[in-house]
Amino acid sequence: MRQLLSPSSSITILGAGLLGSLMATSLARQGHRVRVYEAGGPAGVAAAAHVAAAMVAPLAESVVAEAAIVRMGQHALARWPELIAPLPAPVYWQREGTLIVWHRQDASDAARLRGLFEHRRAEVPCLPQMQPLDAAGVAAADPALAGRFAQGLLLPGEGQLDNRQLFGALTLAMQQLGVQLHYDSPRELADFSPGAAGGDCDWLIDCRGLGARTAWPALRGVRGEVVRIHAPEVTLARPTRLIHPRYSIYVAPKEEHVFVIGATEIESDDRSGMSVRSALELLSAAYTIHSGFAEARILELNTQCRPTLPDNRPAIRMTQPRVLEINGMYRHGFMQAPALHDVALQLLNQGQSPLASDFDLALEGPALA
């Protein structure tokens, strides 16, 4: 990669989702002239990350994620507080860990899951040691669950943030930094000529997720469905996962007794409304965690499709000079975004990225050779 950002470069970013907004904020803070084109509305409302539970749980996700993704998650736990700190509005962030519970009939599935955690921790030694809990331990870890579960696992140090607050704070930061924001303005790579004499920008960065499929045909959508509820009678201290016969259901607490409940993962780019089956399963599972959810009010039934590449891993590529494409965060966007952000900034500022090898991150295309 021979080209580097020069001082006060003109940079166009496609997509104001999680990664696009992070990149725009950081590059504007470095003194570059940044403009962003977003196909949807403000505050990330069209982004997959707007719907997500925003958990940063590398050990919990290690049973379904490769070791490289788990290392990205460990990196994210350190980086999110640093990325949030300079933002002009508060963003809820906590690292109280993840609690996993199960009903007696699912004890064999819990034992299998514990074995998977131990295996992955051997592969990624930086992961914390899980803490087995008896009934008293579950009650001590979260008094709201006292008497409800005979056993559990505490995965210490895992985190979560409020994605809606984050998008609001990033939008405000971009406005204060002078980023030109163009909403409801879909654009394609072919609309720009970065670096050309008299061209419209020096660099073009594509963070559109599934919106980039015309340029990156290998992308596919993986559908997720989540419920957002308000439950004044429930006080959970940390994200709680319930071992379920078909999949692990999570309940992620936000501020003011708001909870995000999810689990479903469907190989489809269908963005229509949530199915009745999904809604019943998610809400029923939440009720079995805490009966106080029965009196909760449903705020939203949300669906979204996560941008996914064939190997379910993210990639950064440059198929042409001065055009950087970043995509494929799949279901682990908040675990991967800080790593991808840091690698991309290294590439732009230094021409190479020592961090990329730490995450086995694919850097593709002749312009990155």
Residues 230 and 139 in one domain: yes
Residues 170 and 255 in one domain: no
**Last residue within a domain, chosen from 284, 308, 332:** 308
Count of residues making up the chain: 369
Residues 147 and 169 in one domain: no
pLDDT for residue 28 is more than 60 = yes
pLDDT for residue 1 is more than 60 = no
What is the C-alpha separation between 251 and 101, in angstroms, rounded?
A: 11
pLDDT score recorded for residue 267: 78
Percent of the chain past pLDDT 90, that is, above it, reads 79
pLDDT score recorded for residue 114: 92
In a domain, 259, yes or no: yes
**Last residue within a domain, chosen from 308, 333, 358:** 308
Q: Compute the average pLDDT of residues 350-364.
A: 91
- Give me the half-sphere count of Cα atoms (radius 13 Å) on the Cβ side of residue 348: 29
In a domain, 73, yes or no: no
pLDDT score recorded for residue 153: 97
2: confidence class by pLDDT, cuts 50, 70, 90: low
In a domain, 22, yes or no: yes
Dihedral angle of Cα 80, 341, 352, 124, to the nearest 10 degrees: 50
What is the DSSP pairing of strand 220-230 with strand 93-94?
Answer: unpaired
**Last residue within a domain, chosen from 258, 280, 308:** 308
**328: domain range?**
10-47+163-215+313-368
pLDDT in tens, 84-112: 999 999 999 999 999 999 999 999 999 99
Cβ proximity of 278 and 246 under 8 Å: no
What is the C-alpha separation between 248 and 253, in angstroms, rounded?
A: 16
Residues 27 and 128 in one domain: no
What amino acid is encoded at 226 in this protein? V
In a domain, 83, yes or no: no
Q: Please tell me whether the overall predicted TM-score, pTM, comes out greater than 0.85 for this model.
A: yes
In a domain, 267, yes or no: yes
pLDDT in tens, 146-164: 999 999 999 999 999 999 9
- In the structure encoding, which two tokens stand for residue 113, read together? 């899951």
Dihedral angle of Cα 46, 327, 224, 37, to the nearest 10 degrees: 0
Residues 256 and 271 in one domain: yes
pLDDT for residue 5 is more than 60 = yes
pLDDT in tens, 129-140: 999 999 999 999
pLDDT score recorded for residue 125: 86
pLDDT score recorded for residue 369: 58
Count the helix, strand and coil residues of the chain and give each as a percent rounded to the nearest 5.
35, 25, 40
Spatial CB neighbours of 240, under 8 Å, sequence gap ≥ 6: 98, 99, 100, 101, 142, 145, 250, 251, 289
Residues 197 and 334 in one domain: yes
Angle at 44 between CA 193 and CA 237, to 5 degrees: 140
Tally of domains in the chain: 2
Give the CATH number for residue 144.
3.30.9.10
Q: How many CB atoms lie within 10 A of CB 54?
A: 27
For the chain, what is the mean pLDDT?
Answer: 93
pLDDT score recorded for residue 254: 94
pLDDT score recorded for residue 252: 96
Q: Compute the average pLDDT of residues 188-196.
A: 93
pLDDT in tens, 239-274: 999 998 776 789 999 999 999 999 767 777 888 899
Residues 207 and 119 in one domain: no
Residues 292 and 235 in one domain: yes
Q: Compute the average pLDDT of residues 28-37.
A: 97
pLDDT for residue 165 is more than 80 = yes
Q: Compute the average pLDDT of residues 116-127.
A: 87
Element (H, E) at 280: helix 276-289
What are the DSSP calls for 181-233, one per residue? Answer: EE-S----GGG--TTSTT-S-SEEEE--GGGGTTT-TT-EEEEEEEEEEE-TT
Cβ proximity of 84 and 159 under 8 Å: no
Please choose, from the candidates 354, 337, 257, 242, the residue with its C-alpha nearest in 3D space to the C-alpha of residue 17: 337
Residues 320 and 184 in one domain: yes
In a domain, 136, yes or no: yes
Give the CATH number for residue 340.
3.50.50.60
pLDDT score recorded for residue 340: 98
In a domain, 3, yes or no: no
In a domain, 4, yes or no: no
Residues 152 and 240 in one domain: yes
What is the C-alpha separation between 369 and 363, in angstroms, rounded?
A: 8
Phi-psi region of 121 (alpha: psi -120 to 50; beta: other; left: phi over 0): alpha
Residues 149 and 250 in one domain: yes
pLDDT score recorded for residue 107: 93
Residues 258 and 189 in one domain: no
Cβ proximity of 361 and 75 under 8 Å: no
